[in-house]
Structure 1
Amino acid sequence: MTESIARQLLGLLSFTLAGAVLGFFTSHNLILGALFGSLLWSILSSLLNAKLVTWLDQNLSSPDPKLPFEQGRIVRSIANYRNKTEAEYDEIHADMDQFQAATSAMKDAIVIIDNQDNIEWWNNAAEEILEITIEQKHKRVQEVFSEPNFLEFYSQSSHIASFKADSADQKRVLEYRVESFGEGDKVLIVRDISESEKVGLMRHTFLANASHELRTPITVIHGYLETLQEQELPKPIQKAIHSMQSQSSRMAALIADLLTLSRLETSSENKSRKPIFIREMLNGITEEAKDVSGPKQHQISLNMDEGFDILGNEGEVRSALSNLVFNAVRYTPANGVIDIALEKLDNGVQFSVTDTGVGIPAEHIPRITERFYRVDEGRSRDSGGTGLGLAIVKHVLVRHNAKLGVTSKPGEGSRFSVTFPESRVVKI
């Protein structure tokens, strides 16, 4: 800015001096000549400025004017900036074309939603899967999607990972996810999971049928083995019968867990809203844990806050919480400490089991709720577990909108926590 003013003043001074010199040699009047020079500079500057303004008014679409002095410098600066901007625009446009091509090729529906819940953009798959039309652009999500369960999920999407529902034509199963980005903007991702759901249903049906068919023969075998064990038989035969009975008991437990897991996997949420008398339940589980501990003589404690209860299915919740407590007993060495707690939080209720057991390496924690996943094959087999306990826990918690937390250090112990949301808590 200072250089530009200096050049303007220099031009004015040059014309003024030139006019003064011309006035001196023509009429011997320096002042009149200087005024003439200044006037000439002003007229010339006005004409050049007018040409510059005209060019700017044409949105720079006409050829660059060839102007002298400071106006020429302005034209060159604007032209350079325009060329740079056009190059950047072309680059952005190319990136946008590439983005459009990539999203058009995706099979998942993608919908961009602004921080006011208005639909701003979607890809081709969204038009097919969600039947979004151009008339719905800039409309609110609540106007475009009317399904109550989806709207409930959308309003709580920051706390719920995904939502499954049938498509409008009932021919597909869709999985909805919402991710946040920018300043409150969101992207809705919808995937057609019909095939995977079909395969999952076939697997669940097979496991349920197979487990159901196996339960009767195993019960018969177990009964006969109990009868034989009461007979006076040679020691080698007694030992073999005892081993067979132990394995049949393990198989019966495995079948029972498979049936339970198959039943839990058929539904994403338990709609029951009945009080489950959580304190009485935990007192019972704690006493059972002490019986299971037996000669190990674990130091088992129970601490509970008062004034509330949990809403849900009593049998399912008992199965999940007892699995966590009995796992602590199973994997904690003799004379170890097991602390069971139930406490009220600002956003719900948390149940926790903390032990001084063998612990779990960090790389295994993300997978411990998978069915039949073993951290240590030998240790798990010796403990008598079926490998399905934590899978059952996971599905029970999903059905009760609860979350599982796990922290652990090998050789120091583990802490398993279950957080029930406020919607599952009732004051008493």
Structure 2
Amino acid sequence: MLQGFHAEVKRLLLLLAMASIIGLLIDQLAITLLLAVAWYTGWNLWQMLRLSIWLQGKRKSQPPESTGLWGEVFDAIYHLQRRQKREKNNLQAVINRVQETTSALKDGVILLDWRGQLDWWNPAAQRLLGFYNSDQGQSVVNFIRDPRFVDHFEQGDYSEPLDIPSPRFPDKRLQFQITRFGKNERLIVVRDITQIFHLEQMRKDFVANVSHELRTPLTVISGYLETMADNNTTPAWSRPFEQMQQQSKRMSLLINDLIMLSKLETTDTGFNQKRLELGPLLQTIKAEAMVLASDKQQTITLDMTPELSVVGTEKELHSAFSNLVINAVKYTPEQGAIAMRLWRSGPHIYFSVTDNGAGFESKHIPHLTERFYRVDASRNSKTGGTGLGLAIVKHVLLRHDAELQIHSEVGKGSVFTCILPANDGRTGLRPRDK
């Protein structure tokens, strides 16, 4: 571009020099200079007109031919046009590839604009939700009217997927995962989880039925074992009877926990809930835990703010809090210390159980509430645990709109904290986790 500018300056100087010479020869210097400037201005205006005509013609033809600065301007615009066309073709190829890929997916993909209106969807989404081409620009909640989806969509917390019945096929179950991108645009992935849902229901029914069916024969076996152990006069059978009674008791605890989990999964949330004073409940749990802790000479303390209450089911909360305390007793060494604490901060009530046991690495924390998960393969067999205690805690807290936070350090102990809503109308910001 500088070369063209220099050529244009030389052109102008040469024109002025020639006009000056001619003006001096005919003694009309001012007129010749004025004519030269007018010609040069007109020539530039003509180049501008040619450029304007070419641009308005959508630049489909070759750029105008010219010299000097204008020639370089025309060439630069032409090369820019070619580069833009190549980039546009590449971008269109990428878009076509993405559309082909998403069209091949079995999961539905929906793009929403910043207003939550339908912008694009793939064939799977059209099949699952029954969209038509004329639906573009319509709000997504006009087609998915389930109140749970509407609340989930409007609240804006998309960290967890939402499972609801299909709005088009009542016998199908769909999972919606929403992700934000761009300028408040949203991507919705719709997955058909009907088979998984039915399998999960079958698993729940199977566990519930088997647990109930095993309870009666196990009770009979335990009764006969106890009778035979009491009437045993052969020293050689004392140890086998003791082991059989221990395993029978362990199996009974496992069945009871499975039945509890089954009830938590199958009964409606809010069933039999009422305003519950937590102080007397924790005093009862402490007394029960001290009986277990007496053999290991452990110390159990309870520090609580008086007159705190929540809306909940007493039996479920007793099971959750008791599981936390009993776990602390099991996994804390002899003469260890276990601290129960209850307090309120803002709109939440906190209950924590702290022990000075062996602790565990942080990588185990996300899996602790899974059924039968073991930090150590031999841990539950040594303590007599069922591996279901923290799963029960998780389900109980979910049914009470609460959550469980876990913190642990190897060699220092663990802290399990339940965070429950106070449900008394007081408002405030959630405090920083302690």
Query: Counterparts of 1:116 and 1:273 in 2: how far apart (Å)?
Result: 39
Q: Specify the alignment match of 1:51 in structure 2.
A: 50
CA pair 277-178 structure 1, distance change in 2 beyond 3 A: farther
**CA deviation map 1:281-315 (0-9, x unaligned):** 22222222222211323332323345653223322
CA pair 386-41 structure 1, distance change in 2 beyond 3 A: same
Secondary structure (helix, strand or coil) at the match of 2:62 reads coil
Further displaced range: 11-20 or 341-350: 341-350
Q: Which amino acid aligns with 1:394?
A: K
Q: Specify the alignment match of 1:113 in structure 2.
A: 112
Unaligned 5+ segments in structure 2 are: 427-434
Query: Counterparts of 2:410 and 2:142 in 1: how far apart (Å)?
Result: 52
1:61 and 2:60 equivalent? Answer: yes
Secondary structure (helix, strand or coil) at the match of 1:100 reads helix
Further displaced range: 113-122 or 242-251: 113-122
**CA deviation map 1:244-285 (0-9, x unaligned):** 111111111111112222232336844665223333222222
| Aligned residues of 1:250 and 1:384 also touching (Cα < 8 A) | yes
CA pair 56-427 structure 1, distance change in 2 beyond 3 A: closer
Q: Specify the alignment match of 1:391 in structure 2.
A: 391
Query: Counterparts of 1:185 and 1:281 in 2: how far apart (Å)?
Result: 48
CA pair 406-145 structure 1, distance change in 2 beyond 3 A: same
Further displaced range: 207-216 or 298-307: 298-307
Q: Which amino acid aligns with 2:129?
A: L
Q: Which amino acid aligns with 1:381?
A: S
Query: Number of residues paired by the alignment?
Result: 425
Q: Specify the alignment match of 1:417 in structure 2.
A: 417
Q: Specify the alignment match of 2:340 in structure 1.
A: 340
| Aligned residues of 1:153 and 1:160 also touching (Cα < 8 A) | no
CA pair 334-180 structure 1, distance change in 2 beyond 3 A: farther
Q: Specify the alignment match of 1:42 in structure 2.
A: 41
Q: Equivalences for 1:90-105 in 2 at 5 Å?
A: 90-105=89-104
Q: Percent identity between the aligned chains?
A: 34
| Aligned residues of 1:119 and 1:136 also touching (Cα < 8 A) | yes
1:343 is displaced (CA, Å) by 3.3
Q: Specify the alignment match of 2:288 in structure 1.
A: 288
**CA deviation map 1:72-126 (0-9, x unaligned):** 2221221222222222222221211121122112222222334433333322222
CA pair 272-65 structure 1, distance change in 2 beyond 3 A: farther
Secondary structure (helix, strand or coil) at the match of 1:386 reads coil
Secondary structure (helix, strand or coil) at the match of 1:275 reads strand
Secondary structure (helix, strand or coil) at the match of 2:350 reads strand
Query: Counterparts of 1:136 and 1:271 in 2: how far apart (Å)?
Result: 41
Q: Specify the alignment match of 2:431 in structure 1.
A: none
Q: Which amino acid aligns with 1:104?
A: S
Aligned-residue CA RMSD in angstroms? 2.7
Q: Which amino acid aligns with 1:242?
A: E
**CA deviation map 1:51-89 (0-9, x unaligned):** 011111222223211122322222122122222222222
1:215 is displaced (CA, Å) by 0.9
**CA deviation map 1:129-161 (0-9, x unaligned):** 122333333333433332112212323451761
Q: Specify the alignment match of 2:197 in structure 1.
A: 197
Query: Counterparts of 1:346 and 1:85 in 2: how far apart (Å)?
Result: 58
Further displaced range: 264-273 or 176-185: 264-273
Instruction: Report the TM-score, using the length of structure 1 for normalisation.
Output: 0.90
Q: Which amino acid aligns with 2:328?
A: A
Secondary structure (helix, strand or coil) at the match of 1:179 reads strand
Secondary structure (helix, strand or coil) at the match of 1:323 reads helix
| Aligned residues of 1:136 and 1:144 also touching (Cα < 8 A) | no
Q: Which amino acid aligns with 2:410?
A: P
Instruction: Report the TM-score, using the length of structure 2 for normalisation.
Output: 0.89
Q: Specify the alignment match of 1:258 in structure 2.
A: 258
| Aligned residues of 2:277 and 2:308 also touching (Cα < 8 A) | no
Q: Specify the alignment match of 2:429 in structure 1.
A: none
Q: Specify the alignment match of 2:228 in structure 1.
A: 228
1:347 is displaced (CA, Å) by 5.5
Unaligned 5+ segments in structure 1 are: none
| Aligned residues of 1:303 and 1:342 also touching (Cα < 8 A) | yes
| Aligned residues of 1:374 and 1:387 also touching (Cα < 8 A) | yes
**CA deviation map 1:190-215 (0-9, x unaligned):** 21111111222222222222222111
CA pair 113-350 structure 1, distance change in 2 beyond 3 A: farther
